[in-house]
Structure 1
């Protein structure tokens, strides 16, 4: 009887044990709820790395964005397309412009009722459409993103029909108002789809109200765990510091600080500004693994060579040219995630963007340095940056020894040939001097007529 009761209990508890014995599905969630840029790119990149490290079964990208920069949207798109972990977009409200490109890159798209996707025309800071060469690149990018999800080939009455999972022409219509798709969009309008329209045309797998509904109803997962990527304060700061526009400003401060410090040797405000800008430029890149130690060393050696060339070595020769090249190279390489000069994994656009960022900063640095050099000491905010006290000679302020002025009017002889400079003997002292007119032979009589800038000027008296 006892044995029978034990068997009954085991059979009763077996389903409970089996539930806990099954390993739960791990879903990793990343929020993209602000403007697409360097900060959101950092969120997604680090979140995807964490999901891979934790061996997540899927990633849900929780989106609500009106767009942002194309360069960062393209980076996120590429990361998603190359991910070995399935990525699902949940459009909470908006996936406009750059957000639409990112959503289309995901394996599946789910939308909340009332959500929208589309309007991916490239615009400038004023919201105006950019020239067609920018639109052309965006059209090809969003079209290829839709094509990346594949198509089915169907034979219908002897005709081969390609049925895309996501029609690339619909994606292109989100960029170009000239694209006409019957029953979808007319000419002259950029396409934006509602949740119902997106579901109808294959740009939304289902309309849902939450991420839990996606997992339980759409992905058919009953036992799962959701982990979420929580950005740190450093993510926020590093995202701001690695923004290309801000990096160009840092390069400008570095170049401007070096320029002004070389104009007035010593350690002052320009040195401090250049040093702080250098730290803010290189440290986030070093922590993220972009800037290697040897790349920073190249930059520092270049700065040292420039200092040697402009202060110690006369003229501007090999050291100056080599120093300029090394500074320029160090700043660019720090932005490119190469491995010991191996650029094969680096996309050409990343190299182009890095070069453009550094060149922009250098040009702005020189322009502002020249502007400030002419403005310092003038009226306005730069008035106090210059010394305005005048030391008049009439008040006894002179920049040369007083005894030179006492020699004016005295006579002597030329101690050397003066052609036109040489030495003269006045009394028992020998002085450097210059013939005011013509040449003076050694031993001829002279007379001091004036002194300027610590230089005696003499004439022949006989």
Structure 2
């Protein structure tokens, strides 16, 4: 298939349309219970926790949130928006329909915090297939956890991922620091929700050896406890009748806790389970909800676009459009499509940084300071020197810092993150240079676009003389300073007035001067 350049040039305009699409608002899908199957909850394992509270009134208002993907910042936005809607609407229940392999720790922490802090609303985690890694923490943050038959939860090991998507190796010191933080998160959330904190911790740290201790009491009743291996050994040794104590491993010190649906109920992580395939109606029956109003939310278009626009590839492409568009705008008359596309792409890059919570006012100031210096270099100072280099450096620094979650890298992981981000920024700038060179060659030959490109040349044989050649002819000329030269000012030579710079001293208005050097557009004079 043949693609003409005039079609390719429309791509920046399409990018601008994409920016406008980000303002699209959320949509709400309201429906009544749609499950065709019905059934009663099955629990052939005795729960360690009390069943849910008394049945809610008929017509309870339920907000249904599907979490069936990797845990990302986009999902954080979706969950936060839906929880706010539920709170404003006076919802009775928020049900999270969970099937996730896990995801980013920061997103997990934010989602768990939002769910746990929801007041006057009962939150339910329905683990219908898998709540691995970050999904286990999100489940733990809910008031009630119900498992589907065959579902599992746990295995929340920390994996360090570079911004490029690869797995990174980190030092033991950094790993221990992060594992300790995750253990504290899981333990605190378990205590907050009335679940066993040791079991929650062991989902993160495989060094925890847990025992399921069964104690036969004197009244022939049985008590179950979860203990660490050391606690269980000490408990047995201090018991007056060790024969009435049975200990079995939940997990050894070489494994992470990963529970199937029956184990989750048995050990008190979940409240109950329902048969696979019985669907939504069985869950509602388990919760004691009759004829509820169900409001089911799905991500909006803008939320679905989030993962796309925050990818390294799109960031690099936006940077290419930003630098290329702004440069083309500087070098063409008026303000047109290149300026709109360049400014729009730059604003979108900074917006991505603010959404990711990595940008701040200082990074924005660095970027715009760089643009100002580039403008000064192009329009005020001849050639391309220190000002231009400094402008590019400030732009690169500002954009890079707006995309990384730190200022100075303190660990090997942060250094790797910074290097990958710098690579993406560098590729964007290099691509913009190529784009500008291509446009310079192609625009004059493109119908409809040739008007913004210079198509004629002023040749010497046609009588044209460059300004630099004309200025060089002033070397040795004498004239009069028509303003104070401190050290820059104006001087008159013959019938022409020129911007000049005094060498080594200030020269007062009216004094005679002599041109001693001309470099580009810079004329250096001294007292005659």
| 1:100 to 1:357, Cα distance in 2 relative to 1, 3 A | same
Deviation, 1:92, is 0.5
Q: Is the 8 Å Cα contact of residues 116 and 195 (structure 1) preserved in structure 2?
A: yes
Between structure 1 and structure 2, the one with the greater Rg is: 1
| 1:217 to 1:291, Cα distance in 2 relative to 1, 3 A | same
Deviation, 1:187, is 2.6
Deviation, 1:236, is 1.5
Superposed counterparts of 1:248-397, under 5 Å? 248-249=315-316, 252-253=319-320, 256-257=323-324, 260-261=327-328, 271=339, 274-278=342-346, 280-281=348-349, 302=369, 305-314=372-381, 364-366=424-426, 368-370=428-430, 373=433
| Residue number in structure 2 paired with 1:68 | 103
- CA-to-partner distance for each residue in 1:118-154, whole Å, 9 max, x for gaps? 1212223456776542564255235423423437xxx
SS of the residue 2:265 aligns to: helix
- CA-to-partner distance for each residue in 1:399-421, whole Å, 9 max, x for gaps? 5357799xxxxxxxxxxxx9x94
- Is 1:57 aligned with 2:92? yes
| 1:150 to 1:372, Cα distance in 2 relative to 1, 3 A | closer
Which of 186, 208, 216 aligns to 2:285? It is 216
| 1:225 to 1:350, Cα distance in 2 relative to 1, 3 A | farther
| Residue number in structure 1 paired with 2:203 | 174
| Residue number in structure 1 paired with 2:188 | 147
| Residue number in structure 1 paired with 2:254 | 188
Count how many residue pairs are aligned between Structure 1 and Structure 2. 354
SS of the residue 1:227 aligns to: strand
- CA-to-partner distance for each residue in 1:85-111, whole Å, 9 max, x for gaps? 332110000011221221122222110
Q: Is the 8 Å Cα contact of residues 63 and 93 (structure 1) preserved in structure 2?
A: yes
Deviation, 1:274, is 2.7
Superposed counterparts of 1:1-16, under 5 Å? none
| 1:204 to 1:422, Cα distance in 2 relative to 1, 3 A | same
Which of 128, 131, 134 aligns to 1:98? It is 134
Deviation, 1:49, is 1.5
In structure 2, stretches of 5+ residues that fail to align are: 1-56, 212-248, 410-415, 445-456, 466-472, 479-493, 496-519, 521-528
SS of the residue 1:190 aligns to: coil
Distance across 2 between alignment mates of 1:269 and 1:213: 57
Structure 1 range deviating more: 177-186 or 208-217: 208-217
Distance across 2 between alignment mates of 1:196 and 1:180: 20
| Residue number in structure 2 paired with 1:422 | 476
Structure 1 range deviating more: 35-44 or 303-312: 303-312
SS of the residue 2:294 aligns to: strand
Q: Is the 8 Å Cα contact of residues 248 and 361 (structure 1) preserved in structure 2?
A: no
TM-score (norm. length: structure 2): 0.52
Distance across 2 between alignment mates of 1:192 and 1:128: 24
| 1:147 to 1:403, Cα distance in 2 relative to 1, 3 A | closer
| 1:65 to 1:273, Cα distance in 2 relative to 1, 3 A | same
| 1:361 to 1:198, Cα distance in 2 relative to 1, 3 A | same
CA RMSD of aligned residues (A): 5.4
| Residue number in structure 2 paired with 1:237 | 305
Distance across 1 between alignment mates of 2:475 and 2:291: 98
Distance across 2 between alignment mates of 1:63 and 1:29: 11
Which of 113, 122, 125 aligns to 2:158? It is 122
- Is 1:111 aligned with 2:147? yes
Q: Is the 8 Å Cα contact of residues 118 and 174 (structure 1) preserved in structure 2?
A: yes
Distance across 1 between alignment mates of 2:353 and 2:429: 26
Q: Is the 8 Å Cα contact of residues 125 and 145 (structure 2) preserved in structure 1?
A: yes
| 1:351 to 1:148, Cα distance in 2 relative to 1, 3 A | farther
| Residue number in structure 2 paired with 1:226 | 294
TM-score (norm. length: structure 1): 0.58
Distance across 1 between alignment mates of 2:358 and 2:158: 31
SS of the residue 2:182 aligns to: helix
**Taking CA–CA contacts closer than 8 Å with sequence separation of 6 or more, which of the two structures ends up with the larger relative contact order?**
2
